Amino acid sequence: LALIADTSLSGARVARELATLFGARGKPQTMVSDNGTEFTSNAILTFADDCKIDWHYIAPGKPTQNAFIESFNGRLRDELLNETLFPSLHHARVTLAAWRTDYNSERPHSRLGWQTPAEFAQTFAPQRGLTLRNQQSSAPAPVAQPAQMGKTQPRSLAHTG
């Protein structure tokens, strides 16, 4: 959705870029990232809390837990970053923007039935507010009744004998 080139990316900068994406595309329920300093910063923790987004960190040294982005990063690295000398930050930004446009709008993907990501995205109707439109839920009925809220104190689960 965005390829940001700069000399460094702080957590505050990542939060600003994500806020821009959320404004344009809506916010997800969960974000998945590695444990890089830009993603574990107070700025990101505050941002996720303010936006009410769950943030899931993959285990250190386990990139396969985020295989989709690792696959994309490998493709970006192989097709562009390893093949291009960037004489300036401006050149890097322009080149990344062109690659992103090609990847999303011009290049069909086999996993998407040979559609471009832009074409594939148009096949989905927005799902926002679905639960507000339908009074019946597709979720299964609960197995047990919810706990009653009141003045009773919870029992200790610790074994005392």
pLDDT tier, 20 (very low <50, low <70, confident <90, very high otherwise): very high
In a domain, 116, yes or no: no
Please indicate, yes or no, if residue 128 is contained in any of the structural domains.
no
How many Å apart are CA 24 and CA 114, to the nearest integer? 26
Q: Is the pLDDT assigned to residue 150 strictly greater than 90? A: no
Residues in CB range of 44: below 8 A, 6 or more apart: 11, 14, 15, 38, 55
Separation CA 16–CA 26 (nearest Å): 14
Q: How many domains does the chain have?
A: 1
Per residue in 65-85, pLDDT (tens digit) is: 989 889 999 999 999 999 999
Task: Tell me, yes or no, whether 155 lies in a domain.
Answer: no
Q: To the nearest whole number, what is the mean pLDDT of the chain?
A: 83
- Give residue 48's domain range: 1-63
154 domain-assigned: no
In this structure, is residue 157 part of a structural domain?
Answer: no
Write the CATH number for 5. 3.30.420.10
Highest mean pLDDT among 8-12, 124-128, 148-152, 155-159: 8-12
